[in-house]
Each structure stands twice: as C-alpha cells, then as structure tokens.
Amino acid sequence: MALYLNIAQIILSVALIGIILLQSRRGDLGGSVFGGTSSAIYSKRRGLERTLFHVTVVLAIAFFVLAMASVMVAG
C-alpha cells in the first residue's frame, strides 16, 4: 500500500510542478523582480487561466491529503 501511495505522490508532484509552470506569465516576472508595477492592477482570471488556477488548487490539496495518508500508513 505504501508503495502505491509513494508512486501516486510522485506522479501528483510532477503534475503539480507542470501546472505551476504553465501558470507563469512573461510580464509578471520582469515587473515584480525589478520593482515595476505591471502586476499592481487587479484583473479577474478568465478562461484557461482560471481553469489552471482551479486545477492547481485541487492538485495541491490532493498532494497534501496524499502526503498525510502516506505518513499514516508508514507510521
């Protein structure tokens, strides 16, 4: 059982890393690193950006739950 949880956690972590990398935007990085205010304007998430955000939240929660289950099984 612990082996399956570890494999699932590795797969989930790779998926979470991939989703987080898909969310990066070109304009935000340069503006925030060098003190610019390009990201100071609030904008609502729409379309694919909103979907990626929701998928990221779901994957993060699933990763946390799987990590806790793995600790309980191993302990």
Yes or no: say if 9 and 67 are a contact pair by the CB < 8 Å rule.
Answer: yes
Q: What is the pLDDT of residues 10-67, one digit of tens each?
A: 999 999 999 999 987 654 554 455 555 555 566 787 888 899 999 999 999 999 999 9
Structure confidence at residue 75 (pLDDT): 81
Instruction: Please choose, from the candidates 44, 48, 28, the residue with its C-alpha nearest in 3D space to the C-alpha of residue 36.
Output: 28
Q: What is the pLDDT of residues 14-23, one digit of tens each?
A: 999 999 999 8
pTM for the complete prediction? 0.73
Residue 37 burial (CB < 10 Å; 0-12/13-18/19+)? exposed
